Amino acid sequence: MDYSQMELYLKAVGDHNRMLILKYLMKEALCICEFTELLDMTQPAISQHMRKLKAAELVMEEKRGRWTIWSLNTRHPQYPILLHLLSLLPEPERTIESLAAEGKRVICE
Amino acid sequence: MDYSQMELYLKAVGDHNRMLILKYLMKEALCICEFTELLDMTQPAISQHMRKLKAAELVMEEKRGRWTIWSLNTRHPQYPILLHLLSLLPEPERTIESLAAEGKRVICE
DNA sequence: TTATTATATAAGCAAATACTTATCGATAGC
DNA sequence: GCTATCGATAAGTATTTGCTTATATAATAA
């Protein structure tokens, strides 16, 4: 891995909101609309974060109908390091379940 | 480690020039004036990078006369991860030895 | 077809970042 | 004391970043 790739990689991970996104993706694949609820951000903001994560090859996207399902790229050479770094972070307070309790569950299919 | 600390940590490491600085520090403790030659940067630029690295507790400084000797903080809880990340990067082309060959060795004492 | 939904993209903006030059403080040597 | 050197800090600047709102694209539903 050269210095530019490493910089891309560390900058992709090194953002509060993207760490949250990656934390959520450790548990399950999710679509953009679910992230907008989980992070309380606009849809374009989430899309742009996913673009950054994808540029660093940290995530994969799968188009399913209208939805784009995002998941961690487990084949990334540094995937084990990513898991380790994420394991150092606390679980996000908001979850899909807690959103469901508020009646905000996004069904996505 | 909370999200803010992790962000500070990853942003400190996630810069091309700071990765070079850390790479050099893996081999030996160095002073600011040596880095200015190794990275071909101005002295204030190096000082500012060291300040960022220190804020993330990645490096330690020791005042010795006029010089400040910088070294890796081997006591940092995530020091092993840092070493692993740095090990993925190629050795810098310029070295203290190659500078010596150009007659640019900074003696520092 | 037309409307709705999920996402991507474009353009604009404020804040952060990585430099620069200029200057200040502290130490060492004369 | 005076001067030179190492380093920190301040101020200025161009670029990057992370958002915003507005709009475009594509798939589903009516």
Average the pLDDT over A1-30 and give the result: 97
Q: Which of A2, A14, A84 lies at the smallest CB-CB distance from B10?
A: A14
CB contact under 8 A, B85 and A89: no
Query: B105 vs B99, which has greater pLDDT?
Result: B99
DSSP letters, A8-27, are HHHHHHSSHHHHHHHHHHHH
For residue B51, give how far its alpha carbon lies from the nearest alpha carbon of chain A (Å).
Answer: 18
How far apart (Å, rounded) are the C-alpha atoms in residues B58 and B103? 31
Indicate the domain borders of chain B: 3-101
How far apart (Å, rounded) are the C-alpha atoms in residues B68 and B47? 10
**A38, A94 Cβ separation under 8 angstroms:** yes
pLDDT band (50, 70, 90) for residue B106: low
Does any strand D atom come closer than 7 Å to the Cβ of B31?
yes
Which one, of B88, B89, B86, lies nearest residue B74 by Cα? B86
> For B98 and D14, how far is CA from C1' in angstroms?
33
pLDDT band (50, 70, 90) for residue B87: very high
pLDDT, chain B, mean = 93
pLDDT tens, residue by residue, B30-82: 999 999 999 999 999 999 999 999 999 999 999 999 999 999 999 999 999 99
Average the pLDDT over A88-92 and give the result: 97
How far apart (Å, rounded) are the C-alpha atoms in residues B33 and A30? 49
Average the pLDDT over A30-47 and give the result: 96
How far apart (Å, rounded) are the C-alpha atoms in residues A59 and A75? 10
Say what the pLDDT of residue A97 is.
84
What is A3-101's CATH topology?
A: Arc Repressor Mutant, subunit A (1.10.10)
Phi/psi at A59 (5° precision): -130, 165
The 10 Å CB-count burial string (b at 16+, else e) for B33-44 is bbbbbbbebeee
* Summary count for chain B: helices (H), strands (E): 6, 3
Task: Give the 3-state secondary structure of residue B78.
Answer: coil
pLDDT, chain A, mean = 93
Considering all nucleic acid strands, name the nucleotide whose C1' atom is nearest to the C-alpha of residue B64.
C27
